[in-house]
A = this chain, B = another copy of it.
Amino acid sequence: MNKTTIFVIEDDHDLRENIIEILEANGFSTIGCETAETALQLLKEQPPDLVILDNMMPGMGGMAFIPLLKKSCSTVKIVMITAFSTVDNAVAAMKLGVNDYLTKPFRRDELLVTVRRNLEVLKFEQQMDDPGMDDALACLSNQIRRNILSTLSSKGKMRFMDLTRHLEISDHTKVNFHLKNLKSHRLVTQDREKAYCLTPQGEKMVDCLSLLSQHISD
């Protein structure tokens, strides 16, 4: 995974350097820009994960910048710095997609907390988008497949017909269908002599399931 990149777009030189210093000291990779215009140039080369943006700037203001930013980096998190916050201002910014606020002056730890929280959310959202998640959950959203997994987990390797009988499913091709599904998702394999068994990932899924079921049933 690439390192997290944060853009700091702020016309006040001292404040900008100050923010950058704090972030770098905490292990974030940062890029400072004096204006929104220069930031736009840099977006393509190094898309940021998070942008810290001053509201009031010469040239293009923060508000105008946001839609352009979103266009090239739709998932980016935006933290806006405002000198003073009014309700109208906040509402307008939220509508544009600002994720968080810092009101000047802010403390070092306020900045860090805000940045960290937003990166957390970002990471979580990215995981939600992970196609692996899709596959995994689609795979598990079927009772027969879950039963196959749990059976293999408790009995170790089994041959096809033994499994079919154990599940009490009369149509063996149905079981075969789901086994193929599980195989194609690499949760189950067959060893040299045709016996089916869980892959390490399959076992992990079984763990997940037991976790889930405990979690669901309170």
Contact = CB atoms under 8 A, between A and B. Distances in A.
A153 to B, nearest CB: 8
A68 interface: no
A155 to B, nearest CB: 9
B141 A217 contact: no
A144 to B, nearest CB: 10
B147 A217 contact: no
B124 A143 contact: no
B217 A130 contact: yes
Given A97-B166, A138-B141, A127 B215 contact: no
A207 interface: yes
A74 B130 CA distance: 39
Interface residues of A, number: 41
Contacts of A74: 168
A147 B121 CA distance: 12
Chain A, interface SS category: helix
B128 A216 contact: no
A178 interface: no
A141 B143 contact: no
Contacts of A124: 150, 154, 210, 213
B150 A125 contact: yes
A171 interface: no
A128 B141 contact: no
B133 A147 contact: no
Nearest to A148: B128
Interface in A63-112: 74, 95, 97
8 contacts: A125-B147, A125-B151, A127-B210, A130-B213, A136-B216, A208-B212, A211-B212, A212-B212
Interface of A: 74, 95, 97, 121, 124-125, 127-130, 132-134, 136-138, 140-143, 146-147, 149-151, 154, 162, 166, 168, 204, 207-217
The 3 closest A-B pairs by CB, nearest first: A127-B213, A137-B141, A141-B141
